[in-house]
Amino acid sequence: MQELGNIFQNQALAASIAACLIAQALKAIIDIVRNGKINIRTLFSTGGMPSAHSALVGALATSIGLQMGWNSNEFAIASLFAAIVMYDAAGVRQAAGKQARILNQIIDELFQEGHTLNEERLKELLGHTPTQVFVGLALGMAIAFLFFRPL
């Protein structure tokens, strides 16, 4: 049971989760400013500014670097993991979102012509732009530095 308690004392984990939650909260605030209304789904959705995935892995890698050293194997692993996640967020998932947008357009055009399809619309906002990924990374790094600032 003591081991489970140690999880809650892990600063790298806490910084990473905080970065992710703050990024998601910022998405909701940005959505309110843009649309003038509250959309609770924004708190749990993928895509948008800033990238919560990038914030999480950016905070993780930075926390590991600050704790274990910038030349440690742990930092190398965390950095490569972060790079893969951010590449996926901006590359593969962004492309899937573009494909979903095109498929939704095709479905819309079919409905306009009187065809009947019982298909759900695909989620188009899956990935991130490079700017969204960069802002998420910067947010995550800043939060990690706040968690590990000298006392």
CA dist., res. 37 & res. 60, Å (int): 33
Where residue 36 falls (left for φ over 0; alpha for ψ -120 to 50; beta otherwise) is left
pLDDT in tens, 3-23: 777 887 899 999 999 999 999
Output the pTM of the full model: 0.75
- Name the average pLDDT for the chain: 84
Judged against a pLDDT cut of 60, whether residue 89 lies above it is answered with: yes
Contact 136, 52 (CB under 8 A): yes
Contact 27, 42 (CB under 8 A): yes
Domain boundaries, the chain: 2-91+127-147
